[in-house]
Amino acid sequence: MAGKLRKVWAVIGSEGKIGSNSLAVVGWDLVSINATWFVAKSTIAATTPVIEWVVLGEKTFASDNETVAQATLDYAVKSDEMRVELPTVTDLTQAHINDKFDINASQQVVLTAAWTQVQLVEIVSTRVGSFKLL
């Protein structure tokens, strides 16, 4: 399940954000700049830990996108008011409200340790929460 944008007051754009080679994104994926300055999915991995944008639409970039095609990404810039519904790896409880977590490579929230990518604002269902992007 991809995330779902719940509330947004953000700048929308596509200029200058070139997707990394073979990157496949769907609407509401969380992305940032990787170590080589191209757009990649945000994960708890050290190479793309910060969430900078939310993807609008679906796109698969060419295997030579960084050097030849240089196609860009349609996105919404992260803002304090933005809320994104994201799936979680394990069940949510009221005790998780306002806690901070990270997302994994599958764009699911990992509840096992407190981190710094997202903050739970509301429980939507047992394994889906409305998160503020940090």
Residue 128, SS3 per DSSP: strand
Q: Which residues contact 35 (CB under 8 A, 6 or more apart)?
A: 47
Inter-CA distances, 31 with 51, 57, 95, 97, 124, Å: 6, 13, 28, 24, 23
Pair 31, 48 in one domain: yes
pLDDT of 80: 84
- Both 72 and 87 in one domain: the answer is no
Q: What is the total count of domains within the chain?
A: 2
- Burial degree of 75 (CB within 10 A; 0-12, 13-18, 19+): buried
Closest among 96, 91, 74 to 5, alpha carbons compared: 74
User: Model confidence over 5-16: pLDDT tens digits?
Assistant: 555 545 666 667
The whole-number pLDDT of residue 13 equals 62
Residue 119 · residue 99 · CB < 8 Å: yes
Is there a single domain that holds both residue 90 and residue 71? no
Q: What is the pLDDT of residues 66-116, one digit of tens each?
A: 999 999 988 888 888 889 999 999 999 999 999 999 888 888 999 976 678
Report which secondary-structure segment, H or E, holds 91. none
C-alpha closest to that of 110 among 32, 39, 19, 49: 49
Is the same domain home to 72 and 88? no
What is the extent of the structural domain holding 92?
Answer: 83-133
DSSP state of 18: B
| Best CA proximity match to 117, nearest among 45, 14, 23, 39 | 45
Backbone conformation region of residue 107, classed left if phi is above 0, alpha if psi is from -120 to 50, else beta: left
Residues 60 and 87 both lie in one domain: no
Q: How many CB atoms lie within 10 A of CB 13?
A: 15
